[in-house]
Amino acid sequence: MSVQSGALSRSRRAVKRPLLDVVAEVLLAQPGASLAEVAEAAGISRTTLHKHYATRDELVRAVGVRATDIWEQAVDRVADKPGTEAGLRELLAAMIESGPQLAFLWRNPVLDGDHELIQRYIDVENRCLAVLDRARKQGLLAASTPDWWLLQTMHALVYTAAEAVHDGKLAPLDAPDLALRTLLHGLGARGVQEASA
C-alpha cells in the first residue's frame, strides 16, 4: 500500500483508529520507519509506544498477530455459508476493508520466522480455500483452477482493491463488487468468452 511521505495525512490522523492499524500503514509505506516516526504518525509519544512495545520486533509481531486475527474474523463471517456469490462477496468485502493489515502480513518477511504466525496463516489460508472450493463445487469458479492460483488471485484482487480504495480511485462500497466480478468472470468481454466457448 502506498502512503504519502509523512506517513499519514493530518486528516487521517484526526480519525481515532487502533494503534496497530496505524502502525501497519506506516510500516507498509516506510518499512524502515523509526519507532519515533511510528509514534508520531499514531499521535502518541515514543515513550507511550515503548510502554506497550519495548522493541520494534515486538511491535511488528503485534501488527502481524492483529492482521491474522482480522483475517480469521473475515473468514469466520462466511465459514458456514454455502459457496454463493453473496458469501464470496462478503469474504472479499471483509478482506478489502482490512487491506493495510493483510498487506502488512503478506509483504513482511520479518514474520516468516514466527512459527506460530506461520501456522495461523496456513490455517486461515486453508479456510479461505474451503470457501473458494465450495464456490467451485457450486460452479461459480472453474473446476480446473489449481488451489494455489485461486488463493493468489483472491489475494491479488483484495490487495489491489484495498489499495485503490486507499488511493481514492475506487469507492469502498464498489470495491467488493469489482473484485467479485473479476474473480468470477475475469477481464474478458462476455461476447468474446461466449464466442470461444
For the chain, what is the mean pLDDT?
84
Give 43-93 pLDDT, tens digit per residue: 888 898 888 888 888 998 999 999 999 999 988 888 777 678 888 999 999
Domain for residue 197, yes or no? no
Residue 16: per-residue pLDDT: 66
d(CA 122, CA 62): 18
Would 83 be classed as within a structural domain?
yes
Q: Is the pLDDT of residue 127 over 80?
A: yes
Dihedral angle sign, alpha carbons of residues 39, 3, 111, 94: positive
Tell me which residue range forms the domain holding 107. 10-186
Q: C-alpha cell of 73?
A: 474474523
94 within 8 A of 69, measured Cβ to Cβ: no
pLDDT value at position 31?
84
Range of 31-35, 72-76, 78-82, 146-150 with top mean pLDDT: 146-150
- CATH of residue 130's domain is 1.10.357.10
